[in-house]
Amino acid sequence: MEIIYEEKSRSFLLQTPKSTYVIGIVDAENFVGHAYYGPRLMEDDVTYLMRTGEAPFTPEKNARDRLSFLDCFPQEFPSCGVGDFRESAVTIKDKGSHVASEFVLESFEIVNGKEKLEGLPATWGSEEDTKTLKLTLRDKVLGLKAILSYSVFEGIDAIARSVKLVNEGKDPVTIEKIMSASLDMDNREYDKLILYGSWARERYIDRTPVNYGVQSTSSLRGEPGHQEQPFMALLEKNATEDQGEVIGINLIYSGNCTTLADRNQFDSIRLMSGINPEGFSYILNPGESFQAPEAVLVYSSEGIGGMSRTFHDLYRNHLIRGEYRDKKRPILINNWEATYFDFNTEKLLDIAREASKDGIEMLVMDDGWFGNRYDDNRALGDWFVNEEKLAGGLKYLVDEVNKLGMKFGIWFEPEMISPDSDLYRAHPDWAVQIPGREAGLARNQYVLDMTRKEIRDYIFERMAAVLHSANIEYVKWDMNRPLCDIGSASLPADRQGEFFHRYVLGVYDLQERLITEFPHLLLENCSGGGARFDAGMLYYSPQIWCSDDTDAIERLTIQEGTALIYPLSAMGAHVSDCPNHTVGRETPFETRGYVALAGTFGYELDITKISKEDRAMIPEQIQMYHKYNDLVRTGDYYRIASYSKNRYYDCYMVVAKDKMEALVTYVQVMGRPNSHSRRILLKGLCPEKTYRIEGEERTYRGSTLMNAGILVENLWGDYKGKLIHILEA
Ligand code: DGJ
């Protein structure tokens, strides 16, 4: 990792192990241009790629065609209103409502380490393993400063970018759009990869060509949602899972976001990512600053799989924090699909007693323990224990669970308020709403105005009181509806456009307070399943519930899409009962265990009611988790086959960093008549090493396993699964 300034060529070289990123300073005016992002270069001058030697030349040489220059120059931070007619990275309105800005370089510094982003989640690093380039740009007319930060990390092919605006002018300005990263590059027949979805079908993978014009994936729900991800990758046409160049971008943010590719007249592509400008505006008074979220760029010359592994390494080592970051998570049993709202102390203790016998390590009490919460129509906001359900109180229940040798976890939905709640009756104005317009309900609930500190203080005080009242070691933080009818009583008319962003900052503030007050707490985020599975949330919680769809076969697709960016250590995955509550499918208990093993692993069923045969498998599954979790959590992930593409089978593997061990998960989704055994080519092993497959006599060289492969026999039936454990011989 290195950041170098080359005086002669006026360029900055950001070096990661296998990639180089080059920024060039151009013309007497100091335009900041993008010259190169690709395979690692030696220290050589590639600023010619900015084509400033070609007509229309730079304004210094050809002032009469300034606009033509701006309209094609590859910019690092393109602004709007002065001649670059492509998508802008920043749109500023001055006090007279004119929309124009032009940022040019004023100064720069290269420092060891990386500063925190005020109030926002971001990657982190030490002075030894991280370096940061800070470019200070200025719009001279507005007096507005833009600080562009670029950080590189030891051993990782990623660059973290962010932008901070500081108003050093005399007048207020309004930010109407601010992208965290923008990248101009020549189109090389790129395809684009995005993740799309819906409730119970989160993060499906979609690959299409980049066509002319703007193509985006954007959220307006106040969170990324089940539907969108703040992610896009550009792929060379021939790039595959294992080969070819891929550039991925992911925003570390949990609110409205947009990621887009704008292919233009000169066949270059502008890739950018940031806060969704729709519904956003932010007033910056003189002396004030605005920090935009961080975006991460990943370069891979090893195809899509290489990109995923880099994101995993970066997020495991430089984003996720806290005690559980590198630790095996306790195997939990959650009562949601077991009881829904119909539970009491005895029922929970029955579940815990049985679970403890099999080695399950934590009971999580889900929705329904507070206020008048007998169904999902009421009581959100009333964070007081319902002692009618929990006879003897919360502490009694937790103590009893602890006596069984198990930990205890609890569910909250801190951002919500039910119209039928004591909190709403006392503070109807705490709900997000537009005066004079009836706010829409979703799951019969409103959203609390998290931009208001007094509301956050109240919620924090209630949560902390509950958490201090007993030995609670885990919190599931849920959020079951998107945001709309946006209005805050605390914001003046001209600042309502700040709501969405301030809401997210409020959520971050509350989560930070929670993990600071309870440093040993394991926090799991959740949003009606996986509507807020994003890198922002991972800064606060090392794991996120992936989806309300717990069916093992559906989960293959959901977890594959999730693992495109996010590490397996972060994916909340449980074994649930059959017929599955979302799709009605019957799958073998064994297979459900194999699929949940690719995530945090746990149970979501009534252990007192499942069949004897299923129950008998739980202790084995628990042993399996203990045997493989270190490998799954810390290893390198390789996709081998997706049943969503081939109809018949799914296969992926995790290889230990030292290449001494690997675990292959194979699921035969559909049995196929009259077929041979299937030949599977393994990946990521050391070609020279000798391996054995657990349970077999013979040994194989790594190169054999990867090139000749192994044969997996027909498993007779649908939804059958198999683990193949590979060890260095
Ligand atoms: C949605 C979550 O995804 C579920 O696991 C469960 O916690 C429910 N909410 C509870 O309302």
266-304 pLDDT per residue, tens: 999 999 999 999 999 999 999 999 999 999 999 999 999
Burial tier of 516 (Cβ tally within 10 Å: 0-12, 13-18, 19+): exposed
Question: Which residue in the block uniquely carries the two structure tokens 């609390």?
Answer: 448
Amino acid letter at 369?
A: W
607, two tokens: 């252990």
CB of 183 closer than 6 angstroms to any ligand 1 atom: no
594: tokens are 């194999």
Residue owning the nearest CA to atom 10 of ligand 1: 367
User: CA-CA distance, 521 to 408, in Å (whole number)?
Assistant: 11
What's residue 238's pLDDT?
95
Examine the domain organization and report whether 418 and 303 are in the same domain. Answer: no
Which atom of ligand 1 has the smallest separation from the CA of 548? 3
Whether the upstream peptide bond of residue 579 has omega within 30° of 0, thus cis, is: yes
Q: What is the rounded average pLDDT of the residues 60-85?
A: 96
Contact status, residue 53 vs residue 45, Cβ threshold 8 Å: no
Asked whether 480 lines ligand 1 (CB < 6 A), one says yes
Q: Tell me: do 7 and 66 sit in the same domain.
A: yes
CATH number at residue 230: 2.70.98.60
Instruction: Establish if 324 belongs to a structural domain.
Output: no
With tokens 């001649």, the residue in question is 83
Please tell me whether residues 406 and 518 are part of one structural domain.
Answer: yes
Q: Tell me, in angstroms, the distance from the centre of ligand 1 to residue 24's CA.
A: 50
621 & 678 share domain:
no
Query: Which contiguous run of DSSP H or E holds residue 645?
Result: helix 643-646
Residue 632 has pLDDT above 90, yes or no: yes
- Written as one letter, the residue type at 527 is S
End-to-end CA distance of the chain: 35
Q: Is 337 helix (H, G, I), strand (E, B) or coil?
A: helix
Position 40 in a domain = yes
Q: Domain check: are 281 and 394 in the same one?
A: no
Is the full-model pTM beyond 0.95? yes
Nearest CA to ligand 1 atom 2: 528
Half-sphere exposure of 353 (CA within 13 A, CB side): 9
For tokens 């260095």, name the residue. Answer: 728
Question: Which residue out of 332, 334, 366 has the highest number of ligand 1 atoms within 8 Å of its CB and is therefore the one to mutate?
Answer: 366
The CATH code of the domain that includes 701 is 2.60.40.1180
**669: which 2 tokens?**
């989704």
CA of 366 to the centre of ligand 1 (A): 7
CA dist 334 and 609 (Å) reads: 14
Out of 605, 634, 663, a domain closes at: 634
Tokens of 222: 């106040």
487: its two tokens? 């209005």
- Specify the residue with its C-alpha closest to ligand 1, atom 9: 528
Phi then psi for 659, rounded to 5 degrees? 65, 20
How far does residue 488's CA lie from ligand 1's centre (Å)?
27
SS3 26: strand
Per DSSP, the three-state class of 457 is helix
Rounded distance from Cα 378 to ligand 1 centre (Å): 15
For the record, the structure tokens of 728 come out as 């260095």
SS3 311: helix
59 lines ligand 1 (CB under 6 A): no
pLDDT of residue 43: 85
d(Cα 560, Cα 637) in Å, to the nearest integer? Answer: 10
Q: Are residues 449 and 517 in the same domain?
A: yes
Point out the residues that are catalytic.
478, 548
Domain count, the chain: 3
- 478 and 506 housed in the same domain: yes
The answer to whether the beta carbons of residues 674 and 647 sit under 8 Å apart is no
**Residue 287: both structure tokens together:** 């002396």
Residue 101: is it exposed, middle or buried by C-beta count within 10 angstroms (0-12/13-18/19+)? buried
Query: Is the confidence at residue 335, as pLDDT, over 90?
Result: yes
Q: Are residues 232 and 309 both part of a single domain?
A: yes
Regarding the beta carbon of 545 and ligand 1, being less than 6 Å apart is answered yes
Closest ligand 1 atom, residue 529 Cα: 3
Q: What does 239-289 look like in DSSP terms, one character per residue?
A: --SSSB-EEEEEEE-SSSEEEEEEE-TTSEEEEEEEE--TT--EEE-TT-E
Give the position, in ligand 1's atom list, of the atom nearest the Cα of 334: 5
**Is it true that the peptide bond before 56 is cis, omega within 30 degrees of 0?**
yes
Together in a domain, 427 and 280: no
Domain boundary residue, one of 318, 347, 366: 318
Phi, psi (rounded to 5 degrees) for 437: -125, 130
Judgement on whether residues 558 and 663 belong to the same structural domain of the protein = no
pLDDT attached to residue 277? 98
pLDDT of residue 35: 98
Indicate whether 511 and 558 sit together in one domain. Answer: yes
Distance 414 CA to ligand 1 centre (A): 13
Identify which of 343, 480, 525, 533 to mutate to test ligand 1's pocket (most ligand atoms within 8 A of the CB): 480
- In the beta sheet, which residues pair with residue 603? 333, 575
Quote the domain boundaries for residue 362.
Answer: 332-634
- The stretch 68-95 carries a mean pLDDT of 97
| Same structural domain, 651 and 620 | no
Q: Residue 593 — very low, low, confident or very high, per pLDDT cuts 50/70/90?
A: very high
Q: Identify which of 398, 368, 396 has the alpha carbon closest to the alpha carbon of residue 383.
A: 368
pLDDT in tens, 397-425: 999 999 999 999 999 999 999 999 999 99
Interval 84-125: pLDDT, tens = 999 999 999 999 999 999 999 999 999 999 999 999 999 999
Q: Structure tokens of 696?
A: 């077999």
Q: Are 677 and 723 in contact (CB under 8 A)?
A: no
Of 272, 295, 318, the residue that ends a domain is: 318
CATH of the domain at 408: 3.20.20.70
The whole-angstrom separation of Cα 663 and Cα 631 is 8
CA 101/CA 79 separation, integer angstroms: 6
Neighbours of 579 (CB within 10 A): 11
> What is the tens place of the pLDDT at every residue in 213-228?
999 999 999 999 999 9
Mean of per-residue pLDDT scores for the chain: 98
